[in-house]
Amino acid sequence: MTNPTGAAFCAALALGLLAAACAALPRRVRPAAVGGATAAAGAAAVAAGLAAMAGRPWSAWLPDLVPLAGARLAIDPLGGLFIAVTGAVAVCAAVYAAGYSRPGRDDADAGHALDGRAVQALLPLFVLAMLLVPAAASVTTFLLAWELMAVTSLLLVVAEHRRRASVGEAGLWYAVMTHLGLVTILAGLAGFAAAAQGESFDRLREAADGLSPAVRSAVFVAVFAGFASKAGIVPLHVWLPRAHPEAPSHVSALMSAAMVNMGVYGIVRVGLDLLGGGPAWWWLLVLGFGAVSALYGILQAVVATDLKRLLAYSTCENMGLVLVGVGAAGLLSAVGDRTMAALALTAAMLHVVNHAGFKTLLFLAAGSVLRATGTRDLDALGGLRSPMPATTALFGLGALMASALPPGSAFVSEWLLLQSLVHALPGGGTVAAVTMPVAVAVVALSAGLAIAAFTKAFGVGFLARPRGAGAARAHESPPAMIAGMVMAAAGCVVAALAPGLIADGLSRAVGVAAAVAGPAADPVTGPVVLRPAGMPSTMSPLLITVALLAAVVVLLGLLRAAASARARRRARLWDCGAGPATARMEYTATSFAEPLVRVFDDVLAPDTRLDVTPVAESAYLIDGVRYRTEVADRIEHRLYRPVLAAARWTGRAARPLANGSVHRYVGYGFYAFTALLIVLAVTR
């Protein structure tokens, strides 16, 4: 009998290659053909992932595909979860791309090459690479898929480099950071394989217990650095708010909703599965970096005025929350509380699913705004509700889903995460007693700031009056783009109202991680009412939503009844004698965030400038006053700028060494070889 997981996954790979081949078609039909085939590949990947989560694993050994090592593929419930999420994001982004990349666009976001053969072929290849990463079952296969994912995403990021200089700069940052991450992952996995005397994941699992603590810790720290960089975790996040805004919007959605998840997958796969867990300090490290990333990311999102940059920093925040859950799971497992460990990891995996849904919707909606107005600057937007009703409604839905408020999808996963953290205190020992309250405060504070960030994004960007020429001439997007956003919105609604539909699959995915496997009961049960294992708390997103809707209907009915009881009279709103409100009187994104900038002044370190210009005739009379506040990425300025300055100085100082003399270069080689022989002689 054919394995459904393998059949669907092979179909996804075949359809992805077909989509890449469709790039050879004429320009007129190319975007639709590539988008349709890529969407079909994504749908097949969703089927494969769900089949694996339902308990139908699949594996394959292809000895001739990769020289010397061969290729090993295996899809278990954990890999199936990430494959299903990636496939779902790919379906929405591919349908959207069919309209976004169509030839003949004359808007400001039109890239000269978005409908070109190279870019069109790279899109399905990028999706295939992301599908292969969770399916890899050996070090060689994993690293090849990882590098393919990095290269294809980099080329897509720089697709519009001829239009904006910032694209090339963002691509450079991304290229350096992603390949530095690859180096650390390569070092960690290669050392792991060498110590285990084998590179298959099965062999690594078998040999993990026999490794010395020093080797295990070195492997974990190395791979954690590389995977955290891919996930956009602070302070390794600097590429993310640069690359995601500059990439084409459907590529931004794929990167922010699917690619960053691979960093989380790597940490869970290596730390909790292949290594089988580890000492508490490993997971304190993960939890600490996750907490810092969550708070710093959402603070930067609150003060950001670039719409896509705001969403990129929101990704840092949400991946930080996911790592808080992963770190809590590893920590609770290390102290012996596996029930709460499984619940924490389930909450983290559910947040991966929810984040993929609402971040896909938000980035696609941001691309719709950019396409219609030619700008990402929230201070220059506004007034989009009338000319772009569908985009406005869909972005508003995405903002609600991301705001950790009921009935949003983020509310469900963050509630589960808080339950695992709070109920871990009685049996978690001293370490949990100190750590968990801090983690609870981080989750709560980041949720509150997320509400402020998305209230700003929606209220300032879409409501009131247009503040720029681009917003004034905005128009609704083509049907294909709307269809992609509607599909993402539908996924968000299902995830928000019925998260229990995937509860069994999440339980199987979490059970793959040996460090948290063990409890007989599923971490979360119930299709309608969620019941976390080991605690009396229950929650039903569907019932909460019905209650909220009923309350709104009753309130509107009472207000309407009260209004109809009195005579209605039309009158102009009181304006204090200043005349009708204008766009200059409205809140901008900068002014909206000003109170929070003052509260978190020590963290954000804003650069405030006040320029007073006197009139030419007298210094006592003021001609103009200009107030400007800039909130830069403090970590980038304090950490990376000195490193870059040192690299530039080293490069300039080393120029005399390369004078073109072949004799000198031969001498360099001789001295280096001699030094190596001396070192080997001394150390051996």
Domain C-terminal end among 521, 537, 557: 521
* Per-residue exposure over 391-400, b if at least 16 CB sit within 10 Å of its own CB, e if not: bbbbbbbbbb
For residues 201 and 270, the answer to whether their CB atoms sit within 8 Å is no
The answer to whether position 255 is within a domain reads: no
In a domain, 111, yes or no: no
SS (H, E, C) 333-389: HHCCCHHHHHHHHHHHHHHHHHHHHHHHHHHHHHHHHHHHHCCCEHHHCCCCCCCCH
pLDDT beyond 80 at 181: yes
Q: Is residue 134 part of a domain?
A: no
Summarize the confidence of residues 532-559 as an average pLDDT. Answer: 85
Residue 298: alpha-carbon gap to chain centroid: 13
Non-local CB neighbours of 581 within 8 Å, separated by 6+ positions:
465, 575
Give the tokens for residue 581.
């409100």
Distance (Å, whole) CA 233 – CA 291: 10
Name, of 99-103, 348-352, 402-406, 572-576, the range with top average pLDDT. Answer: 348-352
Question: Which of 468, 489, 521 is a domain's end point?
Answer: 521
* 609 occurs within a structural domain: no
CA distance 484 to 421: 36
Short-list 201, 258, 254, 262, CA closest to 229? 262
Asked if the model's pLDDT at residue 551 lies above 50, the reply is: yes
Per the document, the length of the chain is: 684
| Amino acid at the residue 82 | F
How many structural domains is the chain composed of? 2
Specify whether 476 is located in the same domain as 327: yes
Q: Lowest-pLDDT range, 24-28, 216-220, 351-355?
A: 24-28
- Tell me the mean pLDDT in the region 153-157: 93
Contact 178, 230 (CB under 8 A): yes
211 within domain boundaries: no
Pair 299, 448 in one domain: yes
568 found inside a domain = no
C-alpha count within 13 angstroms, C-beta hemisphere, residue 552: 6
Residues 41, 125: Cα–Cα separation, whole Å: 11
Domain extent for 485 = 288-521
Residue 351 domain-assigned (yes or no): yes
How high is the pLDDT of residue 427?
60
Checking if the pLDDT of 17 tops 90, the result is yes
pLDDT tens digits, 494-532? 999 988 888 888 889 998 887 776 665 677 777 777 778
Q: Hey, what amino acid is at 332?
A: L
- Domain termination site, one of 470, 502, 521: 521
Q: What is the pLDDT of residues 440-454, one digit of tens each?
A: 999 999 999 999 999
Express each pLDDT in 59-109 by its tens digit. 999 888 888 778 899 999 999 999 999 999 999 999 999 988 875 443 444
The better pLDDT of the pair 454, 425 is held by 454
Using the structure block, give the residue that is written with the tokens 């000895």.
63
Average pLDDT, stretch 218-226?
Answer: 95
* Cβ atoms 524, 506 nearer than 8 A: yes
Which amino acid, one-letter code, is at 92?
A: C
Scanning the structure block, which residue is given the tokens 């984040």? 355
CB burial readout 167-198, b (16+ within 10 A) else e: beebbebbbebbbebbebbbbbbbbbbebbeb
Determine contact, residues 465/586, Cβ cutoff 8 Å. Answer: yes
In a domain, 414, yes or no: yes
* ω into 279 cis (within 30 of 0): no
Rounded-to-integer distance, Cα 251 and Cα 304, Å: 21
- Predicted model pTM: 0.91
**Lowest mean per-residue pLDDT among 44-48, 448-452, 565-569:** 565-569
Residue for token pair 């405030």: 608
